[in-house]
């Protein structure tokens, strides 16, 4: 299974080297990867539907309980099949959609990276691993949204999406850590067993809020929804794949996965119901005020995600069944509508619903796909959409409390979604074909094939729900700890309230479709209240934050090294001095000190002379040289106190430092007295107080009892365990080898930094 | 600063200093020394050569940009840390060849780690100094 997950990463790595080959026509070969994976996951259906789960475990960082544990159960199987299945169609579609794009290979690289990350996300059983893959999906989404990186709008949307989903990622990490420490494990499977303890713990609310933070940002719930419409700047295959079918459902997945662990609590259920219902109604109303096809679809996607959150919040067996069905429904029809929109955009170069008409004459297969998807989204029988809607109504009717309110809200949402589906899937194809579109080229089969497959699947599953009932849907509910054994998916439920609600939805929705037409006037109406939208409020916060940080930068990062040094010193003196003032006892035991020897006096005298020389000399080179003298004097002190390793290192470092200084200073103009007396006195006071603080600190440290345990351990084991007699070196290369490795990495980074700063300066002509 | 004495001396000093730095590197496990100091000494040897003969001559002598030593050293250190994984031991476990080898003494993964440190230090120091000397 690890290979199945890593395949996408490996492929994107391969593209780095062989990208040229995948540009243009051969790009379609890459669609083989999701296809193979789809086949791979299909073979697990019998085992999963029989109630089994498949577990693969690889240890990663066992000492922290972080393992690559992958579990395939009903829930992850459904998502895996969606990711690879829709992934395959999107890969194929992309081959035609971005046929002549310069960076098609990069696109495939990001796309397969995303696919792998998403698979990892839904298959991980370990919270930390899940977090890693979660972040990877955010990052690949960032690259894909900003794919047209020459467009500033794209870049802005990409950053907004990354900021919002990244924020959610942090929240997920925090949630995972708290959950792990409360539940005693990072394994979701084990956490399910301790769900009672978790619910009883005082941290339950905190955990739930953190998990909500992750899920709501990723799944674009109110008030974090606004990154999703912005993300529509991405090429349409991306919108189809990431921002409607899979990635935005990662939040839904997380909530479903966490339902057995955190669910069935008052706080969990009511928060989800409230946030979900606000989102679904808010976004559904927004679809009325859009004329851009992708904008309409974006808001209807948010609304659909809201419905899912609402259903998960209900938490009953019927609601979870409805959610599982609705995930399939939505993936099928929304992906189709996006692909259809993409084709229209690709062929006519327009996405404006107010001018698109009669396109069935030039692209009949696309029109069929659009029509089928629209009726599925409307929930008209015999589509699977009808099933999804019936189940939603049914579970909402069974809600305790105020079902009337919820029914009203869900009814409004469904009606508006029907309207949105009709506008996006039907209205561009009916009516009179305007002259300007008469010469529209017919799309190829690579373009219209994928949406046809998806939309026909929506009908087939609707007519024969048995295909997916036992194999896909019920295992999902079972994975969430509920048993949906006695429920059956069927089109005909008899004359009951649910049916009347369905009829009402379809009738009112259709009437609405004929009365409210998308127009510029409606778009203007909504821009008038834009200033109170969450987006404007949050971007207001952002600009405030930007102002604050530039103010901060102007004060503290002013580019003068001397100011940096004095700022650092002032803070050190202040903080350390404060602590020392409160805790130090300023007593010294002179009796334990060893006697002062003659050569120590000599060295210290040299040191003092050198210090004064540095401060008062008028020649720069002389100052550097006497700094070198100070360094060497300190080396001698190290030698006296038997630290030959330190002395050697200090000696070499000092030599090199002096050389560096000389190299730089040799070319500088003559020494000038730049600072006046006041600054000099200020700096002198600063330096003296810093020196005194450090001295006091060292004396205090010496007064503390020394714990010899660690040094004794090293001294005893250096030869036994590491075959070395030089303890210092053994610590460096063996006991603390990882530290050394980090340190040399940092050194290398510093050197690259210096090289970059000095060598890669812009040429005069390139400078602005 | 180019004197004939320094120039002549540096021609002989360079190999001797380099040899000395390798000596320091190898003795590190038992006696004061090690990859870090050894690397610094080797870089000092090159810097001395550059002072006496000019930077461009030293660069031709080294043939490649010293910066390339950094990834090589990092890779060597990393691989010596990874090696124990092949024997199902945790990362960075010291591996030792059971018998001592003449001249070098007992051989272990720590030696390769130290050689990695040595190379990185040479690479870093020379890159920084050469870059600064070049641009100023």
Which tens digit of pLDDT belongs to each residue from B18-30?
Answer: 999 999 888 877 7
Please give the ipTM for the structure prediction: 0.89
Distance CA A340, CA A347 (A): 11
8 Å CB contact of B110 and A725: no
Scan residues 35-54 of B and list those with Cβ closer than 8 Å to A.
35-37, 40-41, 43-44, 47
Question: What distances in angstroms separate CA A652 from CA A93, A361, A756, one per listed residue?
Answer: 62, 82, 25
CA distance to partner chain B, nearest, from residue A247 (Å)? 35
The label of the residue with tokens 């834009």 reads A530
8 Å CB contact of A645 and B81: no
* Residue A91, burial from CB neighbour count under 10 angstroms (0-12, 13-18, 19+): buried
Largest CA distance in chain B: 58
8 Å CB contact of B30 and A726: yes
CA distance to partner chain B, nearest, from residue A308 (Å)? 45
Average pLDDT of the residues in A198-211: 90
In percent, the amount of chain A with pLDDT more than 70 equals 95
Identify the pLDDT of residue A484: 61
A227, A160 in Cβ contact below 8 A?
yes
Q: Which residues of B touch A762 (CB under 8 A)?
A: none
Q: Tell me, yes or no, if A733 comes closer than 8 A to chain B by beta carbon.
A: yes
Q: How confident is the model at residue A133 (pLDDT cuts 50, 70, 90)?
A: very high
8 Å CB contact of A733 and B113: yes
| DSSP one-letter string for A290-332 | --BHHHHHHHHHHHHHHHHHHHHHH-SHHHHHHHHHHHHHHHH
A276, A306 in Cβ contact below 8 A?
yes
In percent, the amount of chain B with pLDDT more than 70 equals 86
Q: Is A439 helix (H, G, I), strand (E, B) or coil?
A: coil
8 Å CB contact of B123 and A751: yes
Q: Which residues of B touch A738 (CB under 8 A)?
A: 81, 91-92
Q: Express each pLDDT in A274-318 by its tens digit.
A: 999 999 999 998 888 888 888 889 999 999 999 999 999 888 888
Give strand pairing partners of A126. A187
Average pLDDT of the residues in A392-412: 82
Q: Which residues of B touch A652 (CB under 8 A)?
A: 37, 40-41, 44
Q: Express each pLDDT in A238-252 by its tens digit.
A: 888 888 888 889 999
Q: Which of B34, B67, B77, B109 to mutate to test the interface with A (most CBs of A within 10 A)?
A: B34
**Mean pLDDT over all residues of chain A?**
84
Here the tokens at position A290 are 């859009």
The residue of chain B nearest to residue A731, with distances taken between CA atoms, is: B29
User: How many contacts, defined by CB atoms under 8 Å, are there between A and B?
Assistant: 141
Identify the pLDDT of residue B39: 92
Q: Which residues of B touch A726 (CB under 8 A)?
A: 28-34
The label of the residue with tokens 């040229």 reads A20
Instruction: Check the CA dihedral A186-A190-A193-A194 and report its sign.
Output: negative
B108, A723 in Cβ contact below 8 A?
yes
Q: Which residues of B touch A645 (CB under 8 A)?
A: 32-34, 37
8 Å CB contact of B81 and A741: yes
8 Å CB contact of B94 and A722: yes
8 Å CB contact of A652 and B92: no
Task: Write the CATH number of the domain with boundaries A556-708.
Answer: 1.20.120
Here the tokens at position B1 are 């600063």
Q: Express each pLDDT in A591-614 by its tens digit.
A: 767 778 888 899 999 999 999 998
8 Å CB contact of B124 and A748: yes
The residue of chain B nearest to residue A665, with distances taken between CA atoms, is: B136
Nearest to A759 among B33, B131, B136 (CB): B131
Identify the pLDDT of residue B110: 81
Whether the per-residue pLDDT at B65 is higher than 70: the answer is yes
- Is the previous residue joined to A382 through a cis bond, with omega within 30 degrees of 0? yes
What length is written for chain A? Answer: 768
Average pLDDT of the residues in A449-463: 88
8 Å CB contact of B123 and A660: no
Q: Which of A201-205, A437-441, A590-594, B71-75 has the lowest mean pLDDT?
A: A590-594
Scan residues 510-569 of A and list those with Cβ closer than 8 Å to B.
none
CA distance to partner chain B, nearest, from residue A764 (Å)? 15
Q: Express each pLDDT in A32-88 by its tens digit.
A: 889 999 999 988 888 888 878 888 887 777 777 777 888 888 888 999 999 999 999
The residue of chain B nearest to residue A644, with distances taken between CA atoms, is: B32
Q: Tell me, yes or no, if A446 comes closer than 8 A to chain B by beta carbon.
A: no
Identify the pLDDT of residue A763: 55
Give strand pairing partners of A58. A68
Instruction: Identify the CA nearest to A717 among candidates B94, B4, B132, B112.
Output: B94
Average pLDDT of the residues in A225-229: 85
Average pLDDT of the residues in A419-433: 86
Q: Tell me, yes or no, if B135 comes closer than 8 A to chain A by beta carbon.
A: yes
Whether the per-residue pLDDT at B123 is higher than 90: the answer is yes
Q: Is A220 helix (H, G, I), strand (E, B) or coil?
A: coil
Q: Which of A631, A655, A664, A737 to mutate to test the interface with B (most CBs of B within 10 A)?
A: A737
Identify the pLDDT of residue A171: 94
Q: Tell me, yes or no, if A663 comes closer than 8 A to chain B by beta carbon.
A: yes
- Is the previous residue joined to A49 through a cis bond, with omega within 30 degrees of 0? no
CA distance to partner chain B, nearest, from residue A740 (Å)? 8
Identify the pLDDT of residue A485: 63
Distance CA A626, CA A616 (A): 11
Q: How confident is the model at residue A230 (pLDDT cuts 50, 70, 90)?
A: confident
Identify the pLDDT of residue B104: 59
Q: Tell me, yes or no, if B70 comes closer than 8 A to chain A by beta carbon.
A: yes
A66-72 and A54-61 strand pairing: antiparallel
Q: Where are the alpha helices (DSSP H) in chain B?
A: 4-27, 35-53, 55-62, 69-82, 109-135
The residue of chain A nearest to residue B88, with distances taken between CA atoms, is: A59
8 Å CB contact of B73 and A744: yes
Q: Tell me, yes or no, if A725 comes closer than 8 A to chain B by beta carbon.
A: yes
Say which residue, B44 or B33, is predicted with more confidence: B44
Q: What is the DSSP letter of A471?
A: I
Identify the pLDDT of residue B17: 92
Q: Tell me, yes or no, if B134 comes closer than 8 A to chain A by beta carbon.
A: yes
Q: Which residues of A touch B24 (CB under 8 A)?
A: 648
Highest mean pLDDT among A88-102, A203-217, A390-404, A695-709: A203-217
Whether the per-residue pLDDT at A766 is higher than 70: the answer is no
**Exposure string over A31-45, b if 16+ CB within 10 A, otherwise e:** bebbbebbeebeebb
Which residues have a Cβ under 8 Å from the Cβ of A725 and sit 6 or more positions away? A718, A719, B29, B30, B31
Say which residue, A321 or A516, is predicted with more confidence: A321
pTM, whole model, 2 decimals?
Answer: 0.74
B38, B20 in Cβ contact below 8 A?
no
Whether the per-residue pLDDT at B130 is higher than 70: the answer is yes
Q: Which of B93, B128, B129 to mutate to test the interface with A (most CBs of A within 10 A)?
A: B128
Whether the per-residue pLDDT at A160 is higher than 90: the answer is no
Q: Which of A23-27, A372-376, A410-414, A668-672 has the lowest mean pLDDT?
A: A668-672
Scan residues 88-127 of B and list those with Cβ closer than 8 Å to A.
91-92, 94, 96, 106, 108, 110, 113-114, 116-117, 120-121, 123-125, 127
Whether the per-residue pLDDT at A764 is higher than 60: the answer is no
Q: Tell me, yes or no, if A190 comes closer than 8 A to chain B by beta carbon.
A: no
Q: Tell me, yes or no, if B10 comes closer than 8 A to chain A by beta carbon.
A: no
Q: Which residues of A touch B125 (CB under 8 A)?
A: 656
Residue A289 — φ and ψ, nearest 5°? -105, 25
Average pLDDT of the residues in A432-460: 84
8 Å CB contact of B110 and A726: no
Distance CA A82, CA A655 (A): 64
B93, B84 in Cβ contact below 8 A?
yes
Scan residues 492-511 of A and list those with Cβ closer than 8 Å to B.
none
A276, A406 in Cβ contact below 8 A?
no
Full residue range of the structural domain in which residue B26 is found: 4-135
Q: Express each pLDDT in A605-663 by its tens digit.
A: 999 999 999 888 878 888 888 989 999 999 999 988 888 888 888 888 888 888 888 87
Count of structural domains within chain B: 1
Which part of chain A has CATH 1.20.120? 556-708
């Amino acid at each position: 299974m690890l290979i199945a997950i890593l395949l996408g990463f490996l492929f994107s790595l391969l593209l780095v080297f062989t990208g040229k080959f995948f540009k243009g026509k051969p790009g379609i070969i890459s669609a083989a990867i999701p296809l193979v994976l789809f086949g791979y996951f299909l073979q697990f259906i019998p085992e999963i539907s029989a109630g089994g789960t498949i577990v693969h475990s690889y240890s990663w960082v066992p000492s922290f309980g972080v393992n690559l544990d992958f579990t395939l159960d009903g829930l992850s199987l459904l998502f895996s099949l969606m990711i690879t299945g829709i992934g395959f169609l999107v890969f194929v579609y992309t081959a035609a959609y971005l046929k002549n794009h310069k960076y098609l290979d990069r696109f495939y690289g990001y796309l397969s990276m995303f696919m792998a990350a998403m698979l990892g996300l839904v298959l991980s059983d370990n919270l930390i691993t899940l977090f890693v893959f979660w972040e990877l999906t955010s990052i690949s989404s960032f690259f894909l949204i900003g794919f047209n990186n020459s467009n500033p709008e794209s870049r802005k949307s990409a950053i907004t999406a990354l900021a919002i989903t990244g924020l959610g990622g942090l929240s997920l990490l925090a949630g995972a850590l708290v959950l792990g420490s409360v539940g005693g494990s990072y394994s979701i499977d084990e956490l399910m067993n301790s769900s009672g303890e978790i619910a009883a713990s005082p941290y339950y609310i905190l955990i739930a809020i953190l998990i909500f933070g992750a899920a709501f940002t990723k799944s674009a719930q109110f008030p974090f929804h606004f990154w999703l419409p912005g993300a529509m700047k991405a090429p349409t295959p991306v919108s189809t794949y990431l921002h409607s079918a899979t990635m935005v459902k990662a939040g839904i997945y997380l909530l479903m996965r966490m339902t057995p662990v955190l669910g069935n609590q008052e706080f969990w259920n009511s928060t989800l119901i409230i946030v979900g219902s606000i989102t679904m109604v808010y976004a559904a109303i927004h679809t009325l005020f859009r004329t851009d096809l992708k904008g309409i679809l974006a808001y209807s996607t948010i609304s659909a995600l809201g419905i899912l959150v609402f259903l998960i919040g209900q938490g009953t067996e019927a609601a979870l069944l409805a959610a599982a069905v609705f995930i399939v429904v939505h993936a099928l029809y929304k992906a189709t509508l996006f692909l259809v929109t993409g084709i229209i955009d690709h062929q006519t170069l327009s996405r404006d619903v107010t001018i698109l008409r009669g396109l069935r004459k030039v692209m009949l297969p696309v029109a069929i796909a659009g029509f089928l998807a629209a009726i599925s989204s409307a929930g008209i029988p015999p589509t699977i959409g009808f099933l999804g809607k019936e189940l939603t109504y049914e579970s909402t009717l069974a809600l305790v409390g105020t079902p009337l309110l919820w029914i009203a809200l869900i009814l409004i949402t469904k009606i508006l979604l029907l309207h949105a589906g009709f506008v996006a899937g039907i209205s561009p194809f009916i009516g009179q074909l305007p002259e300007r579109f008469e010469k529209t080229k017919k799309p190829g089969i690579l373009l219209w094939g994928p949406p046809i497959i998806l939309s026909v699947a929506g009908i087939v599953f609707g007519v024969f729900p048995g295909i997916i009932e036992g194999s896909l849907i019920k295992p999902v509910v079972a994975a969430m700890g509920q048993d949906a054994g006695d429920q059956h998916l069927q089109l005909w439920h008899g004359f009951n309230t649910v049916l009347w609600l369905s009829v009402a939805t379809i009738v009112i929705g259709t009437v609405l479709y004929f009365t409210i037409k998308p127009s510029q006037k409606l778009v203007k109406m909504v821009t008038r209240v834009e200033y109170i939208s969450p987006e404007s409020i949050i971007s207001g916060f952002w600009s405030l934050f930007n102002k604050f940080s530039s103010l901060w930068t102007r004060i503290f990062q002013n580019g003068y090294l001397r100011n940096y040094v004095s700022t650092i010193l002032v803070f050190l003196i202040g903080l350390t001095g404060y602590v020392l003032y409160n805790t130090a006892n300023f007593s010294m035991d002179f009796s334990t000190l060893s006697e002062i020897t003659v050569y120590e006096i000599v060295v210290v005298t040299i040191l003092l002379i050198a210090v004064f020389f540095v401060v008062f000399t008028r020649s720069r080179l002389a100052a550097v040289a006497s700094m070198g003298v100070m360094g060497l004097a300190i080396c001698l002190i190290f030698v006296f106190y038997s630290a030959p390793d330190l002395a050697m290192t200090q000696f070499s470092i000092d030599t090199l430092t002096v050389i560096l200084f000389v190299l730089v200073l040799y070319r500088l103009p003559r020494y000038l007295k730049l600072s006046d007396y006041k600054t000099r006195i200020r700096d002198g006071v600063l330096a003296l107080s810093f020196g005194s603080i450090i001295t006091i600190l060292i004396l205090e440290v010496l007064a503390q009892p020394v714990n010899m345990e660690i040094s004794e351990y090293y001294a005893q084991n250096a030869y036994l365990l590491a075959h070395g007699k030089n303890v210092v070196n053994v610590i460096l290369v063996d006991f603390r080898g990882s530290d050394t490795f980090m340190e040399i990495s940092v050194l290398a980074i510093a050197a690259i930094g210096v090289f970059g700063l000095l060598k890669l300066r812009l040429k005069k002509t390139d400078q602005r | 600063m180019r004197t004939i004495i320094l120039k002549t001396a540096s021609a002989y000093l360079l190999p001797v200093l380099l040899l000395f730095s390798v000596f320091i590197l190898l003795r590190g496990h038992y006696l004061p020394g090690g990859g870090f100091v050894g690397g610094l000494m080797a870089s000092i040897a090159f810097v001395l050569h550059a002072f006496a003969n000019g930077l461009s001559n030293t660069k031709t002598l080294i043939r490649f940009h010293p910066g390339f030593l950094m990834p090589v050293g990092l890779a060597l250190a990393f691989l010596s840390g990874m090696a124990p994984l092949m024997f199902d031991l945790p990362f960075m476990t010291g591996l030792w060849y059971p018998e001592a080898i003449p001249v070098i003494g007992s051989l272990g993964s720590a030696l390769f780690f130290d050689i990695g440190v040595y190379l990185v230090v040479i690479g870093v120091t020379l890159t920084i100094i050469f870059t600064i000397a070049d641009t100023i």
